[in-house]
Each structure stands twice: as structure tokens, then as C-alpha cells.
Amino acid sequence: MKKNTIAKDGHSSIDPTKTSLLANLLVFDPFTGFAVFGKSDCKPLDSVVINRARLNLMVVGAESNLQLGSPMVALAIDRLTHCIVGFDLGLGSSSPTQIVNCLKHTIWSKSYVQTAYPEVKNPWPCWGVPKNIYITPGRDSRSNDLMMLARRLNIHISIRPTTLNNKSSEFEYCYQSLNETLVQALPESTLSIPSDNIDFSLNNQPVVTMDFLYRILHVWVCDDYHQRVNPSTLRTPLSLWQDA
């Protein structure tokens, strides 16, 4: 095989066909900021993004009605299909266990949904052990529980560089949809649920119990987000998952 040489003018005489071949093999990953060989998300659960954000809601105690704060939601999103494969809800600015809980929910079967939440019309077949997870820097991104779980299940963890936007495009679209459509859907969703679960009198923010929030979030994932055409794929997330 002929080796690459340095020409008399000082420039490398690299075969341009080989250079083009290498360029075609490399794919820029906008989430990590690095070039990688080949497409990293060829099938569901190859790559999962986990990120957190605050919901524009107020949670109160089910019995005390005391304000507990605005909830933080952690979402696990499959990068190939854009399906939500897991989530977790918490209170406070940062919880060292929320990413771990979200990952556990990703791994668990969602067969409980129809029994626990009979108002959900569509199944949630999205679950399993992800091959790679991508998370943003934070005190929970290096927690011992997360590292132990990842080692036990052979999950590769990538920390998103701080120089990049902290939110992936998959998460941004999902979170925007969640904040807009979930809050707007709340009044209709209380028709078959006791009226003391929700109150719209506090700073124009819906006030809900945590149990009610878990319920309506399951409805939103299964019957709204997974059934809506994603602008990036021009397919519904659920149809992509089922066809993969």
C-alpha cells in the first residue's frame, strides 16, 4: 500500500479519496460536541438524553394544602425516536437522586400504566436498558448511585461539555411541548378527578398535588406527546419506536 508522503512544496500528498472516505465515516454529534465514527443511535435505546427543568406549576400537600414548591421534571428521551422512555418528578432546585430515579424508570416496564391510570388510552411500550446516556454537568451527574447502576448494567455515561448549550434539541422541543400543552390541558383533565386536586387562583399558576401531576403526566406522554408528529422526524415518536 502506498504511504502518504510530503511533496516538495511542503504539502501532504494524502489521497483525496481516502480523505473523503474518512469524512463520510465521521459524524458530528451536536450533543457531545465531538466527531464520532458512524451514527451512534441506530436503534432505540442506543442513545438516551436525560435532562431536567422546572415546570410552571405549584405543588401543594394532598392533605395540608401547604405549598411545596414548583416541581422539577427529569425526562429521558430516546434520540432516535424522540420517545420519552422515562421521567421523574421532584421538588427543590437539585436532587442527587433524580437522574438515578429517571434512569430506573427508563429501565422498568411501563405495563403498570393501564392499571394505575385507567384514563390513559394508549400503551407506553418504551423501556429497557440504554446503551449510552447523555447528561449535563451537576452534582447528581457523578453520584455514586448513578455510577454503580451504570457499571452494573454496562451503561456508558457521557457528560455534556459546559461550553455547549445545556439543553439538547430533543429535550428543548419536549420540554416546550410539556410546559405549553400540559398546563393548557389541565382544566379538561380534571373532569373525572376530584376538583380539590387543582386550583387556578395562585399567581395564575395551576396548583396541583404530586399524585395528580404524576397522573396527568402519564396521560400527556402516552396520549399527547407520543401521538403528535415530531417536526424533526416528521413521524410520531410512538410509530418510530414500533417500526424500529
* pLDDT given at position 179: 77
Mean confidence (pLDDT) of the chain: 78
Q: Which helix (H) or strand (E) holds 68?
A: strand 67-69
Mean pLDDT of 202-210: 74
Mean pLDDT of 7-28: 48
Q: What is the pLDDT of residues 56-87, one digit of tens each?
A: 788 888 888 888 888 999 999 999 999 999 99
DSSP secondary structure letter of residue 182: I
Work out the pLDDT band at 228, boundaries 50, 70, 90.
very high
Contact 91, 53 (CB under 8 A): no
- Which residue type sits at 125? P
User: At a CB cut-off of 8 Å and minimum separation 6, what does 4 contact?
Assistant: 12, 13, 14, 15
Domain ranges (residues) in the chain = 47-243
Q: What is the pLDDT of residues 114-132, one digit of tens each?
A: 999 999 999 999 999 999 9
Q: What is the pLDDT of residues 154-175, one digit of tens each?
A: 999 988 765 444 455 777 888 8
Contact 206, 193 (CB under 8 A): no
Q: Give the whole-number percent of the chain exceeding pLDDT 90.
A: 43
- Output the CATH code of domain 47-243: 3.30.420.10
Work out the pLDDT band at 149, boundaries 50, 70, 90.
very high
Global confidence as pTM: 0.76
Q: Which of 60, 103, 106 is nearest to 221 (CA)?
A: 106
Q: What is the pLDDT of residues 173-196, one digit of tens each?
A: 888 888 777 765 664 333 233 445
